[in-house]
Amino acid sequence: MMILVVLAFILFLIIGIPISLVLGMTTIVYFVVTGHTMLLDSTPQRLYSGMENFGLLAIPLFMLTGELMNSGGITNRLVVFARKLVGHVRGGLAYVTVISNMFLASILGSANAQAAMMSKVMVPEMEKEGYDREFSSALTLASSIVAPIIPPSMIFIIYGTLSGTSIGALFMAGIIPGIIYGIGFIALIAYIGYKKNFPKSERASFKEIWGSFKSVLPAMLVPVIITVGILTGAFTATESAAIASLVAFIVGMFFYKELKWKSLPSILVNTVIGTATVTYLIAMANLFGWVIAFEQVPQLIANSMLSISDNPFVFLLLINIFLLFIGTILDGIAALIILVPVLMPLVTGFQIDPIHFGVIICINLTIGLLTPPVGTGLFIVSSIAEVKFERLVKAVMPMLVLGIVMLFLITYWEQTTLFIPRLLGY
C-alpha cells in the first residue's frame, strides 16, 4: 500500500504540482489507500492546529519589514556604502556584492528574495565594469545564501517552531557562521581576481565615505534593534519583528522620505501573499506529518542510522550528505517542514545540541538553492540576469564547493554556532 502512496508523491512532483498541494494530496491518497478515511473528518482541525504557534507570527512581520525597507530606499544606500569602502581594490565590485548581501541578510532573511533583488542591482553594474555575466550572476546567487543564516531568518523561525528550540538562540547562533561564509566568499574572489585580473574603481575620498556612512546609518537601526533587543532580553524574536517593522516604516517614511503612502497597499499585498504561501505550506506539512507518524518513519530512520554507527560524528556526516541530496530535489522550507519532526528524535538520541543542529540543517537546505535540478535560486537568477541555466550552474560550482566545505567546518566545530548563545545563557 505504501508503495502506491510513494508513487503518488513522486508522480505529483514530476507533473509540476506545487509542493504544498503535493503534501496534502499525498496525505489524502494515504488515508484512502490504507482505509483511514475517518481521519478526513478531523483534517480541517489538524490544518488549523499546525498554525497555532506564537513563533510563526514573526514570519509576516519580518516579511513586512523587508518590504518596507526595499520601498524605503535601503538597498541602494547599502550598495553605495559598500562600494565606497572597497570599490577601489581589485575585484572591488565583487567584494561589494558579498558585503551588500551580508548587510541585507540582516534585514530580509530570505535568500530567494535577496538573490532576486541583488541580481537586478549588481549584475548589470558588474558587467559594465568588465566582469562576465555568468560570474556576476553566480556570485550574486552564492553570496545570497547568507540571508537565512544572519539574523533575522525566516528559516530559523520555522525550525524553532517545529523543534521547540529558542528562536532567539538560533538568531544568535547564525551570526558567526554568516561571517564565516562572507569571509570564505571574499577569499574566493581574491583568488579568482588574482588569476583573472579583475577590474577596480577609483578610490573614494574620506568625505564621500563619511557621507555615505551617515546616509546608511538610519537603515542599520533595524538589525541593531533586533540584535540588541534579543541580546538584552528586552523582547523576544517575534516581538523584535514587530518593532523592526515600525522602525523600517519610520526610517523609510520620515528619514529617507522614499516610502510613500500610496505604496503601502502594494507592500501589504506582497506581505500577505508571501505569508500565505509559507503558512499554507506549513499547514499542509503538518497534515503530511500524520503519514510519517502512522508509518513510524522516525523510528525506522533512527534504527537504520544506529545500525550503521552510534558515533555522532558519523551521524552528522550521513545527515549532511542526506540533506545535501534532499536540497537538490525539494525546496528548502518544504524539506525543513517535512524533515525536522523526523530528525529531532535522532538529534536527541545522539545528544546533539538542537541549536547547533538547527544551523546545520538550515545551511544545508539553503545550499540547495545553488544545486540543480531544483535549486530555486538558480532559476530566479537565471531568469532575472538573463543567463542560460547550464552556464550559471557551471559558474556557481566553485562557490557551491566552497559552501559545502564551510558547512562541514561549522558542523564539526560546534563553537561556531554555540559560542554566542552560550555566552548569553541559552
- Cα–Cα distance for residue pair 18/276, rounded to 1 Å: 14
Whose cell is 543567463? That residue is: 387
- Cα–Cα distance for residue pair 255/251, rounded to 1 Å: 5
The CA radius of gyration of the chain, in Å to the nearest whole number, is: 22
- Cα–Cα distance for residue pair 185/94, rounded to 1 Å: 10
* Mean of the per-residue pLDDT values of the chain: 80
What's the predicted TM-score (pTM) here? 0.76
Task: Tell me the per-residue pLDDT of 26-41, one tens digit each, with 9 for 90 and over.
Answer: 888 888 888 777 777 7
Q: How many CB atoms lie within 10 A of CB 300?
A: 12
Whose cell is 540576469? That residue is: 385
298 confidence band (pLDDT: 50, 70, 90)? low
Roughly how many angstroms between the first and final C-alpha of the chain, as a whole number? Answer: 45
- Cα–Cα distance for residue pair 287/364, rounded to 1 Å: 24
Average pLDDT for residues 285-311, to the nearest whole number? 71
Range with lowest mean pLDDT among 85-89, 104-108, 266-270, 389-393: 104-108
CA distances, 90 to each of 144, 170, 190, 338, 401 (Å) = 21, 36, 8, 44, 23
What long-range pairs does 340-345 form, CB within 8 A, spacing at least 24?
340/159, 340/162, 340/163, 341/162, 341/289, 341/292, 341/298, 342/292, 342/297, 342/298, 342/301, 343/298, 343/301, 343/319, 344/162, 344/163, 345/298, 345/299, 345/302
Residue in 112, 44, 55, 105 with CA at minimum distance from that of residue 277 = 112
Displacement of CA 30 from its chain's centroid (Å)? 31
- What is the reported pLDDT for 426? 78
Task: Tell me the per-residue pLDDT of 389-414, one tens digit each, with 9 for 90 and over.
Answer: 788 888 889 999 999 999 999 999 99
